[in-house]
Structure 1
Amino acid sequence: MILKTKECEDMSDLETHYRNLFLKFGDSAESAQYRDRITQVKRYEILIEIANITGSKVLDFGCGTAHFATFLKEKGIQVDYTGVDFVNEFLQCAKEKHPESKFCSLDEALQDTYDYAFVSGVFNNVMENNENFYKETVKQLYQVAKKGLSFNMMSSYVDYYDQGLYYEKPENVFQFIKNEVSPYVAIRNDYQIRDGVIPFEFAVYVYKR
């Protein structure tokens, strides 16, 4: 991924932010900026509905301490898992939990190919140019995903905005995918992360044919 100077500063700030969360919360959903384990798992359940991924080779972009790998194992879903993150403390913890899996830098991960790539929560923090970041990331991951890519984002169709979060219109993402990535795309804005709260994010399934 080619990052401009300001974007590199943003990534450095995010690295510090997540490292501090890890030091505060340890190996927990909160360290990856989820509200709790319940909402984290709900997002994972939506993301894997892209397809039956049993037996697949998967890439988890922004893996944190590999909660997605733990989720898949608890569900009895056998995969060949690779996790990528830029926080060394996350990766060290993930390796200790899942020695059977691979954890590496993005540059190393992009030298390989996978059946599916997954991204959860990575596009949520405000940056200098969020649009460029998510678009370039999606393009890169799509290139190494042989079957599909699944990711989520915060929806602009909400009644409350957090100044530290990035919100996008689902239709803008749909148009970007259709025009620049793949003609095979589905967007879901129908699921509730928390009971009694209207959908405030959406999931995107991008397929190859």
Structure 2
Amino acid sequence: MSAPTDGRDGAVERALEGVAEMYTGNLQEHGLASKSVGWKDEGSQLLRFDKLSELVTPQSAADGFTVNDLGCGYGAMFRYLDGRFGAGLTGYWGCDISDEMLRAARGFADDPRVELVNSPRLLKRADYSFVSGTFNVKMGAEDDAWRGYVTDMLLHLRDMSAKGFSFNLLSTYVDWKAENLYYADPLWFFDFCKRNVSRHVSLLHDYPLYEWTLLVRTEG
């Protein structure tokens, strides 16, 4: 992780350090389970994967495609994608900032197609990039600083995704908020991606979770 260059970056870096510690603790408490990466149960975790992976076209599934998973945790999304697409998934590159999570992933997602690295940013360009829950926990960072971090990362995802990327965030359409979580206006982020990334953006906010998913296609 690079050294902070201003107050916002310093706040975000401290938040990311707290996130790494939190997920390491979750893993020690819950083991290889959805709760260790912040989801209440496996069903909601799989529903999120369903929404994120709507980005993959039938043609890509037939031809073969590679994936970046930013905040890969213990590798649950690899297992999901392998089960759904099989040999269509030709490469999976997972990044996380918790060494303990990565150690767990090396056992849980033991496959020659898998590469795992400790990094807060993607290191390879893939066909598709997925971000599931990674942007939700801001710890003590202010909302404006965290939104700046997320938008910077979306531009990074644009550059590292040949065909597109998808991500989810907690919605502002809620009646209660936890102080350490980031709740994002889906219309603001739709507009940001439409203006700065691609004309081809789809907002999914019709499933039974207090969040939304954006699918951003960077080809065509």
Q: Give the match's secondary structure for 2:86.
A: coil
Q: TM-score, normalised by structure 1?
A: 0.90
Q: Measure, in 2, the Cα distance between the counterparts of 1:48 and 1:92.
A: 25
Mapping 1:141-156, distance limit 5 Å: 141-156=157-172
Q: Measure, in 2, the Cα distance between the counterparts of 1:60 and 1:173.
A: 20
Percent identity between matched residues is 28
User: Partner letter of residue 146 of structure 1?
Assistant: A
Partner of 1:58: 67
Mapping 1:64-79, distance limit 5 Å: 64-78=73-87, 79=89
Q: Measure, in 2, the Cα distance between the counterparts of 1:10 and 1:46.
A: 27
Q: TM-score, normalised by structure 2?
A: 0.86
Confirm whether residue 6 of structure 1 aligns to residue 15 of structure 2.
no
Give the CA deviation at 1:21.
0.5
Give the CA deviation at 1:76.
4.2
Residue 178 of structure 1, aligned match among 182, 190, 194: 194
Q: CA RMSD in A?
A: 1.7
Deviation per CA, 1:128-172: give whole Å up to 9, x if none.
Answer: 221012111111111010000011111101222222221111110
Give the CA deviation at 1:51.
2.4
Q: Structure 1 stretches (4+) deviating beyond 4 angstroms? A: none
Give the CA deviation at 1:74.
2.5
**Structure 2 portions without partners, runs of 5+:** none
Equivalent residue pairs, number? 202
Partner of 2:23: 18
- CA distance 1:123–1:108, shift in 2 (3 Å): closer
Mapping 1:113-152, distance limit 5 Å: 113-127=125-139, 128=141, 129-152=145-168
Deviation per CA, 1:85-128: give whole Å up to 9, x if none.
Answer: 00001111111222321101337842x21100000001111242
Partner of 1:98: 109
User: Could you tell me whether the CA contact under 8 Å between 2:138 and 2:146 is conserved in 1?
Assistant: yes
Mapping 1:14-53, distance limit 5 Å: 14-52=19-57, 53=60
Give the CA deviation at 1:6.
2.0
- CA distance 1:141–1:9, shift in 2 (3 Å): same
Q: Measure, in 2, the Cα distance between the counterparts of 1:105 and 1:201.
A: 27
Give the CA deviation at 1:37.
0.7
Q: Measure, in 1, the Cα distance between the counterparts of 2:52 and 2:92.
A: 15
Q: Measure, in 1, the Cα distance between the counterparts of 2:18 and 2:120.
A: 20
- CA distance 1:47–1:107, shift in 2 (3 Å): closer
Q: Give the match's secondary structure for 2:151.
A: helix
Partner of 2:211: 201
